[in-house]
Structure formats: structure tokens, C-alpha cells
Amino acid sequence: LTLQHGSAIVSAIKPADNGNAGIIRFWNPTDTPITEGFKLDRPIKTAELCNLNEESKEPVTLGEEFVPVTIAARGLCTVRFTW
């Protein structure tokens, strides 16, 4: 896992509970929203925001090199991804 900016803290990286994807959970320790990007050592096919129960909320548009996610101030962001 490589972060684009290093602004967010990765609080979890694990297999999805259903076993069909991976989960990355970010925490933003700052008082302002941030956008962080991430990539793996293999191409990511899909990414979507989900809640803490890993239920889908909305798709994430993949960037050319990094997958960008916006994290609320002092907030968590959970991303489900496939490769």
C-alpha cells in the first residue's frame, strides 16, 4: 500500500467480510477535510466507499495512478476495492 500524500492514517487494511474484496480504512486526524490517494502493488479494478459494516455507499472514480478518497475532518473513510 502506498499513500499519495501521507496525510491520512491507515487504521485498517484487511479482507472484506464477504471475502470478495479488500478493505482499507482511513482516519483524518486534522480539523479540515483532506483528499488522500492510495495504490497497491497491483492494479485496482474497482473501488467504492462503504460504511463500517462494509455496506456499499457509492463508487469511487479510479485515478490514473492513485485511487482518490476524500476524508471528512476528524473522520473515517472505508473503501472496498477489488484487484
68: cell is 482518490
User: Rounded to two decimals, what is the model's pTM?
Assistant: 0.90
Which parts of the chain sit beneath pLDDT 70? Answer: none
* Contact (Cβ atoms closer than 8 angstroms) between residue 7 and residue 40: no
- Dihedral of alpha carbons 69, 20, 51, 60, sign: positive
> Residue 23 has which C-alpha cell?
478493505
Q: What is the pLDDT of residue 18?
A: 87
Determine the pLDDT at residue 9: 97
Cβ–Cβ < 8 Å for 26, 63: no
| Residue 61 pLDDT | 93
Residue 43 CB partners (closer than 8 Å, separation 6+): 83
